[in-house]
Amino acid sequence: MRDRKKVTFDLGQEKITLIVPGEAEILAMKKCPPLPHPEAAIAASLKNPIDSPPLAQLAREKLRSHPLAQAVVVISDATRPVPYRGPQGILWPIINTLLEAGFPASRIKILVATGTHRAMTEAEIRRLLDPRVLSSGCPLINHEARREEELVEIGQTSWGKAQINRHYVAADLKILTGLVESHFMAGASGGRKSICPGLLAEEATYLLHSGPILNSPEACDLNLEGNPVHEASLAVARLAGCDFIVNVTLNSDFQLTGVFSGDMEKAHLAAVEKIRHYVGLPVKQKYDIVCTHSGYVGINHYQAAKGAAVCAPFLKPESYLLLAGVHPDTDPIGGANYKKMLRLLTEIGAASFVAKIISPDWEFVPEQWEAQMWTRILRIIPPEQLIYCSLDIPAENYSFLPHLDARRLVGEKKSLEELVQAALDRLIADWQKKYQRRPRLALLPDGPYGIPLLRQPSPKES
């Protein structure tokens, strides 16, 4: 018996520990130490921002020029692990700065950048925000991308008119907050994404997430240059305007590693450079079996696509991908349109699905973009080699999901940990029996947050 070792997956809502062969490769992000004094770092960032006056000065200047000035602070919804409470919380220091500068709480709106996601519930908001924010008296508003009366046209872009949330447009002092992490379509989250798609009209989101745009090879993790999603988002954000951002970076333990405040573009770029140094996973080969998870963001199947998509560079046609997910959302799969697109994907296959949605004759369907993300894997391996492990999705729903329910492979299990362990052991045993050798196995403990950086082959190898 070869040596065995343990690897832990942190899915946000739950942690699982797997026992794996000693030769398995654990492809983890580099360790990035947390800020030793996060509260002091947040305060210092607000006072010494990047290419911008301090937030307190901006607030006082707004009130001097317009005594009845309105402020808006944009926050992310529950699908992003932005630290909004506790010692790492960035929201209360912002609100408190505005209050001390003279803004009354009634004129400081907290706007949840839901994009096309559903509105956050009161219970979710209470879990997300610092109690001091909740008791401050600041109005809290969910962005509603489908309500025409909540939207204002701010101009034209190269891809059509831009409509965004009216509360944001009306504010005299505009502040964005968010997390900067690698993003499988926009290159990196944070910065301009708080506005576009965070505050965008649903119809405009169609164009931003259209099949041809997302079919671009430049629309990928950690890439901003030439990325059509990034460029379109930035164009809208420039039209909307922004006075100040507070973006953060986190390590794999969700600890604060950096606070980047100030100019929307320059502070965001500084944060992107920070994460490049520790999220990349240098890889020299492809693997027979890859085991990963959908992370904190994977509150449903719709969001879990991120965990799968980053694995594409690790896979070859005979590979297996094992994906674990905890889905506490009210619908563990996603919306009706997403389910509709999954049914189409399952029915016609990945190649035909992509050909259909990039056709000029295709009529855009909201949420088709996440179904398209699954094709990044399913154009490499067939659905039966994509093994999905979740106890939150009823077994009967797998009739229209484009992968194999792990419970069909190993039977019902009492816990997610048992299910993933049993499925992984089964894949290893089956591979060894079929190929008469142990599989090259990779495990990604950071899930969608670690980004593969494959070594480029030399001219002799290619």
Q: With 0-12 CB in 10 A as exposed, 13-18 as middle and 19+ as buried, what is 459?
A: exposed
Sign (positive/negative) of CA torsion 418, 423, 426, 427? negative
Q: How far is CA 138 from CA 56, 64, 96, 113, 142, in A?
A: 18, 21, 11, 16, 13
* Residue 311, helix vs strand vs coil: coil
Cβ contact 316:328 at 8 Å: no
Q: How many CB atoms lie within 10 A of CB 169?
A: 18
Is 203 within 8 Å of 239 (Cβ atoms)?
Answer: no
Enumerate residues 6+ apart whose C-beta is below 8 A from 121. Answer: none
What is the torsional sign of CA 220, 223, 226, 230? positive
Asked if 319 contacts 287 with a C-beta cutoff of 8 angstroms, the reply is yes
The candidate with the shortest Cα–Cα distance to 91, out of 122, 124, 119, 130, is 130
State the DSSP code for 193: G
Among this protein's residues, is 183 annotated catalytic? Answer: yes
- CA 424, distance to chain mean position in Å, is 26
Q: Residue 260: is it exposed, middle or buried by C-beta count within 10 angstroms (0-12/13-18/19+)?
A: buried
**Of 98, 430, 447, residue with least CA distance to 293:** 447
E-state strands within 151-203: 151-157, 160-165, 173-179, 182-183, 187-188
Give me the count of residues in the chain: 462
Q: What is d(CA 143, CA 383) in angstroms, rounded to the nearest whole number?
A: 36
Distance separating alpha carbons of residues 170 and 61, to the nearest angstrom: 17
The DSSP line for 25-68 is EE--PPP-PPPSSHHHHHHHHHHS-BSS--HHHHHHHHHHH-TT
Q: How far is CA 163 from the centre of its chain?
A: 23
Choosing from 117, 209, 301, 327, which is the catalytic residue? 117
Out of 143, 167, 183, 403, which one is annotated catalytic?
183
The single-letter DSSP state of residue 171 is: -
Q: Would residue 37 show up in a list of annotated catalytic residues for this protein?
A: no
Query: How far, CA to CA in Å, does 209 sit from each of 102, 150, 151, 365, 367?
Result: 40, 21, 19, 10, 8
Q: Which residues are catalytic?
A: 117, 183
